[in-house]
């Protein structure tokens, strides 16, 4: 069975790695998504529940080339929904890459209309029996059965947010780009509302980001030949680890938000919280394996002291989201160099991400 995992532009490689780890299968990368093979529908359910980098998980029914909205609708009629839709109501939602000129409403009308015309099934936008999903790139439409039914990148725990909050799947990607090991020490020196440390804590403990919202998955409605609720419960076995996650911040209010969000996520016991000024990090840490953080404009003046501190205890990578022109100079001054840069897209916001290591 061929599947599609929808993610954010700029973290497709992280998503491919996660799928490989969770399902032991390789994934190919397309714009803002990955494609992979599974042997059974249990694998799709497992990925939907446990993945931290994906927004949607879709069982592919068709991959269609198009040139305009009319050809998209015509090509949509080539998709065979088969028994998935027989005698059932449905709806179709979509995602699209930046270079697609059509609106989401136009795409949903074209592809959804094609499925309706071919199947004769009724559309129900409120409570459909089955959900379809279309991922549209510059010249192709990937259509299939949606197993998630909602944007999995959004997190239920992000109640106490701050201005620089990131989506959960992007926070996870930043943590993974730091190349943290299962037994290492990870730190976020500007943790804000705690997104990156919380995602790190989930990864270390094996906690699903949807542990407390299992009932949201649309695949629970599908007849898959096994008890889906019981199957999800079986995936809740905690993972043993020797790693350590630190959530730090200069502002006590932010730290309090981080603690509350971590408790809602169920990983507060896997994270240590501390209010620490960047000038004094080396008094608390002698060795840190990986760092990932979002440096907001009001923290730019601390970049010099931050890299000075990193030079004293950081063994591995520092992944930093920052658009300040002073960033690279501050890093070079203390013996760090950029080993990779990329842009991650969170909606219409482009996040500049730089990965630093000590220069040899």
- Tens of pLDDT along 20-70? 999 999 999 999 999 999 999 999 999 999 999 999 999 999 998 999 999
What pLDDT is recorded for position 241? 84
What pLDDT is recorded for position 313? 96
- CB count, 10 Å around CB of 182? 11
What CATH code is assigned to 168-213+238-358? Answer: 3.40.50.150
What pLDDT is recorded for position 126? 94
What pLDDT is recorded for position 332? 96
What's the mean per-residue pLDDT of the chain?
Answer: 95
What pLDDT is recorded for position 113? 93
What pLDDT is recorded for position 240? 84
Q: What is the mean pLDDT of residues 344-354?
A: 95
User: Is residue 163's pLDDT more than 80?
Assistant: no
Q: What is the mean pLDDT of residues 143-166?
A: 92
User: Is residue 239's pLDDT more than 90?
Assistant: no
Looking at residue 114, the DSSP 8-state letter turns out to be H
Confidence of residue 177 (pLDDT cuts 50, 70, 90): very high
Confidence of residue 75 (pLDDT cuts 50, 70, 90): confident
Q: Rounded to the nearest 10 degrees, what angle do helices 195-205 and 168-177 cross at?
A: 70
Confidence of residue 238 (pLDDT cuts 50, 70, 90): confident
User: Is residue 138's pLDDT more than 90?
Assistant: yes
User: Is residue 242's pLDDT more than 90?
Assistant: no
User: Is residue 360's pLDDT more than 80?
Assistant: no
What pLDDT is recorded for position 176? 98
Q: Where are the domains of the chain?
A: 2-146, 168-213+238-358
Q: From residue 357, give the alpha-carbon distance in Å to each of 37, 246, 316.
A: 35, 20, 6
Confidence of residue 139 (pLDDT cuts 50, 70, 90): very high
What pLDDT is recorded for position 320? 98
User: Is residue 167's pLDDT more than 90?
Assistant: yes
Q: Kindly list the strands in the beta sheet with 27-30, ordered across the sheet, starting from the edge strand earlier in the chain.
A: 27-30, 33-37, 2-6, 56-65, 140-146, 130-136, 90-96
* 2-146 CATH, one of 3.20.20.70, 3.30.2130.30, 3.40.920.10, 3.60.15.10: 3.30.2130.30
User: Is residue 357's pLDDT more than 80?
Assistant: yes
Strands 56-65 and 33-37: unpaired
> Following DSSP, what letter does each residue of 145-200 receive, concatenated?
EESS-S-TTS-TTTTS--TT---HHHHHHHHHHTT--TTSEEEETT-TTSHHHHHH
pLDDT tens sequence across 261-276: 999 999 999 999 999 9
Confidence of residue 102 (pLDDT cuts 50, 70, 90): very high
In percent, the amount of the chain with pLDDT more than 70 equals: 99
User: Is residue 164's pLDDT more than 80?
Assistant: no
Q: What is the mean pLDDT of residues 172-184?
A: 94
């Amino acid at each position: 069975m061929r599947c599609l995992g929808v993610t954010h532009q700029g973290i497709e490689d992280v998503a491919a790695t996660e799928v490989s780890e969770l399902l032991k299968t390789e994934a190919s990368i397309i714009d803002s998504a990955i494609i992979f093979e599974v042997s059974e529908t249990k694998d799709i359910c497992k990925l939907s529940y446990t993945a931290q980098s994906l927004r949607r998980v879709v069982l592919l029914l068709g991959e269609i080339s198009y040139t305009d909205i009319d050809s998209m609708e015509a090509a949509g009629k080539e998709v065979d929904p088969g028994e998935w839709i027989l005698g059932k109501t449905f709806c179709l939602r979509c995602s699209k890459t930046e270079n697609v000129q059509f609106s989401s409403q136009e795409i949903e009308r074209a592809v959804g209309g094609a499925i309706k015309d071919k199947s004769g099934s009724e559309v129900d936008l409120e409570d459909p029996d089955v959900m379809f999903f279309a991922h549209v790139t510059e010249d192709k439409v990937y259509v299939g059965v949606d197993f998630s039914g909602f944007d999995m990148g959004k997190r239920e725990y992000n109640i106490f947010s701050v201005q620089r909050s990131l989506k959960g799947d992007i926070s996870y990607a930043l943590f993974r780009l730091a190349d943290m090991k299962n037994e290492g020490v990870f730190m976020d020196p500007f943790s804000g509302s705690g997104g990156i440390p919380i995602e790190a804590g989930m990864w270390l403990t094996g906690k699903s980001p949807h542990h407390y919202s299992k009932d949201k998955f649309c695949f629970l409605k599908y007849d898959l030949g096994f008890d889906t609720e019981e199957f999800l419960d079986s995936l809740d076995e905690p993972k043993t680890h020797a790693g350590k996650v630190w959530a730090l911040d200069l502002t006590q209010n932010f730290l309090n938000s981080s603690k509350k969000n971590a408790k809602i996520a169920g990983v507060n016991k896997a994270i240590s919280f501390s209010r620490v000024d960047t000038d004094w990090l080396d008094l608390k840490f002698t060795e840190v394996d990986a760092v990932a953080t979002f440096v907001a404009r009001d923290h730019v003046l601390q970049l010099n002291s931050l890299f000075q501190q990193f030079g004293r205890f950081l063994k591995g990578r520092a992944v930093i989201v920052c658009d300040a022109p002073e960033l690279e100079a501050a890093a070079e001054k203390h013996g760090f160099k950029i080993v990779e840069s990329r842009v991650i897209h969170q909606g219409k916001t482009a996040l500049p991400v730089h990965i630093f290591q000590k220069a040899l």
